[in-house]
Amino acid sequence: MFYKDAICGIIGFNSVNWRQKHISIGYWLGQQFQGKGIITQACAALVDHAFQEMNLHRVEISTAVENFKSRAVPERLGFKEEGIARQSAWLYDQFIDHVVYGMLAEEWKARPVK
């Protein structure tokens, strides 16, 4: 991703399950670019694409329980917190828990657009 001609981070689909019609989104943003709505806007675009173009049923975002800035993204977009995946990622020489957020196609279509 770019912000004002500078590389600011990455975002993309991590995995897709065509049989179950769901996909996950992952992202990273440089610290100096945080707080500008970049990831929220990019996530919204990917969710739109997943539901409208790929005809999927579910989008998932998983982030470290302690990463409150990252957790704010799916929360802002109206994702539902579904639970904790215990020790699901290796980070900083230890296993960390992830909070899992989900959005269904019908929820995305019915959400109030700001």
Q: Which amino acid, 109?
A: K
Please give the tally of structural domains in the chain: 1
pLDDT at residue 114 in the model: 66
Question: Which residue stretches of 49-88 are H helix?
Answer: 68-76
Q: What is the pLDDT of residues 43-97, one digit of tens each?
A: 999 999 999 999 999 999 999 999 999 999 999 999 999 999 999 999 989 999 9
Domain that holds residue 53: 2-110
Q: What is the pLDDT of residues 10-34, one digit of tens each?
A: 999 999 999 999 999 999 999 999 9
Which residue, among 7, 8, 53, 50, has the nearest Cα to 29 in the 3D structure?
A: 8
pTM, two decimal places: 0.92
Enter the DSSP assignment of 114: -
Strands, E assignment, 1-114? 2-3, 6-7, 9-17, 22-29, 58-64, 80-91, 94-104
pLDDT at residue 113 in the model: 77
Could you tell me the CATH number of the domain that includes residue 31?
A: 3.40.630.30
CB 47 within 8 A of CB 59: yes
